[in-house]
């Protein structure tokens, strides 16, 4: 874990003491990251709408394909090769579309570091098939931005409900409002909530999102 994140966790525990005991109960927070650029975004796309275990298995096969983690390399792979890794037809089409956008300069990963959070989310979300959740997860794990919160994530809502004994699972809108109190460390709050929810549900360690 980078030094800034450990310092941020201490500040987050002051902003909201409910976070202070998560690591004591669940163990040290694992620092999960993804590659920057196309490879990292592909990892998030692969994991959409399937279990962590299935996503990990598919990712291992997909990432072993020659050139799969670069736009030009992916575009020369056949649909049969991509499908053999376990990708659904829609995800194959989605990844091809993203690779084409990179080749055309429409999707510009090199420009992301110079963008504010909202602009970076909008840039990624503008691509066909990419919604705010995918953009936020990419910026959180691949770009290590400290103040990103994927308010549409069901596990985050469930984790917060359990952590704070809320009467109901917060809606995405309610979750975004509650997360405002954790700025500028909302990414760290998300990581802790995923860690907490994995612990209380007994799920094996793996990718958070």
Is the Cβ–Cβ distance between 22 and 195 less than 8 Å?
Answer: yes
Helix axes 172-179, 154-164, angle to 10 degrees: 60
Task: Tell me how far apart the terminal alpha carbons of the chain are, to the nearest angstrom.
Answer: 18
Helix, strand, coil distribution of the chain in percent, nearest 5: 65, 0, 35
Give the up-direction half-sphere exposure of residue 169: CA atoms within 13 A in the CB hemisphere: 11
- Looking up tokens 């692969």, which residue turns up? 46
Is the Cβ–Cβ distance between 106 and 96 less than 8 Å?
Answer: no
Map residue 32 onto helix, strand or coil.
coil
- How much is the average pLDDT of 180-202? 96
Q: What is the pTM of this model?
A: 0.88
In 3D space, the residue among 103, 143, 149 whose CA is nearest the CA of residue 127 turns out to be 103
Q: Report DSSP state, residue 18.
A: G
- Contacts of 112 by beta carbon, 8 Å cutoff, 6+ apart: 120, 123, 124, 139, 143
DSSP secondary structure of 145-194 = -TT---TT-HHHHHHHHHHHT-SSPPPHHHHHHHHGGGTT-HHHHHHHHH
Residue-wise pLDDT tens digits, 42-89: 999 998 877 888 889 999 999 999 999 999 999 999 999 999 999 999
Residue-wise pLDDT tens digits, 100-147: 999 999 999 999 999 999 999 999 999 887 889 999 999 999 999 999
Residue-wise pLDDT tens digits, 13-49: 999 999 999 999 999 999 999 889 999 999 999 988 7
């Amino acid at each position: 874990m980078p030094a800034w994140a450990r310092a941020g966790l201490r500040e987050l525990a002051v902003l909201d003491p409910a976070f202070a005991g998560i690591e004591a109960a669940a163990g040290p927070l694992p620092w999960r990251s993804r590659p920057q650029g196309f490879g990292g975004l592909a990892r998030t796309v692969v994991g959409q709408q399937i279990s962590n275990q299935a996503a990990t298995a598919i990712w291992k096969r997909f990432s072993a394909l020659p050139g799969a983690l670069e736009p030009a390399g992916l575009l020369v792979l056949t649909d049969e090769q991509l499908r053999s890794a376990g990708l659904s037809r829609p995800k194959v089409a989605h990844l091809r579309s993203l690779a084409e956008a990179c080749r055309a300069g429409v999707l510009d990963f090199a420009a992301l570091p110079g963008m504010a959070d909202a602009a970076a989310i909008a840039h990624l979300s503008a691509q066909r098939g990419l919604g705010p959740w995918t953009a936020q997860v990419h910026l959180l794990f691949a770009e290590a931005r400290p103040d990103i919160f994927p308010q549409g994530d069901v596990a985050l809502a469930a984790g917060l409900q359990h952590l704070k004994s809320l009467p109901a699972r917060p809606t995405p809108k309610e979750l975004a409002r509650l997360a405002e109190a954790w700025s500028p460390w909302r990414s760290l709050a998300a990581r802790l909530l995923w860690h907490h929810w994995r612990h209380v549900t007994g799920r094996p360690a793996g990718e958070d999102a």
